[in-house]
Amino acid sequence: MEMPSISSSPRTVEEIFKDFSGRRAGVVRALTYDVDDFYTLCDPEKENLCLYGFPNETWEVTLPAEEVPPELPEPALGINFARDGMNRRDWLSLVAVHTDSWLLSVAFYFGARLNRNERKRLFSLINDPPTVFEVVTERKPVKDNKPNMDSGSKSRISTKRSSDGQLKSNPKLYDESFAEDEDEHSETLCGSCGGNYNADEFWIGCDICERWFHGKCVKITPAKAESIKQYKCPSCSTKRGRQ
């Protein structure tokens, strides 16, 4: 298990926030992209298991550290025990809440030597992206014709539902009526980084899982999107490949 030495621990506000962001990205991936693997690993027949996120954006389900006290604050113990006694979505939400608490505790463990203004700045940075709980619980069904725009051109990829329920991507010109809906779209979160929707950035929706992504997060440009008939996000592409 990855444990930083005292000399390598993040010390500045920027270093601590970078550490926080990497750990957050790791646990968000566990609870969204890799959720089936995460669910399987949390076997209630095993001992107290924890969900760890690491600064390099990876995650691990494992036993807690043996040393007492541990090098870092511990995540919630025994997340696996409740797995089969709850609705899956409710269980994931519960894990997400405890994970948010752990991320904060680790950040402020590193930030113990910061002064008052530095702590305020750190919390402001941490408070800007959505919480893990928000990412897990607020992935609402994608509404038809939700715009994906980039600031360079007024094109977007819209999705329309066909009679068989599948989503089809259709390149369309952006029209002014969508500007009125920007507040509604602002609730959309990127399935990769968890960032909020921004009309100044290009987004693309997965036709399989219906999640939305920053184009830059999934390496899709507006020009490339124009030639895609059905977009599959990295997670859905991997799942299809395993079947």
- What would the pLDDT profile of 161-208 be if each residue is shown by its tens digit? 333 444 334 433 334 444 444 454 556 788 888 877 776 778 888 888
Q: Return the structure tokens found at 179.
A: 């500007």
Which band of pLDDT confidence, cut at 50, 70 and 90, is reported for residue 61?
very high
Cα(234)–Cα(218) distance, integer angstroms: 7
Residue 212 has pLDDT above 70, yes or no: yes
Which band of pLDDT confidence, cut at 50, 70 and 90, is reported for residue 62?
very high
Whether the model pTM is above 0.85? no
Domains and CATH numbers, the chain: 13-137 (no CATH), 155-242 (3.30.40.10)
CA distances from 227 to 170, 203, 212, 224, 231 (A): 10, 15, 18, 6, 10
What does the pLDDT read at residue 187?
A: 64
Strand 203-205 relative to strand 167-173, pairing: unpaired
What value does the mean pLDDT of the chain take? 78
H/E run at residue 41: helix 35-41
Residue 110 has pLDDT above 60, yes or no: yes
What does the pLDDT read at residue 5?
A: 44
Q: Return the structure tokens found at 138.
A: 């607020």
User: pLDDT tens-digit profile of 119-163?
Assistant: 999 999 999 999 999 999 875 433 333 344 343 333 334 333 333
HSE of 56 in the Cβ direction (CA atoms, 13 Å)? 6
Lowest mean pLDDT among 13-17, 150-154, 235-239: 150-154
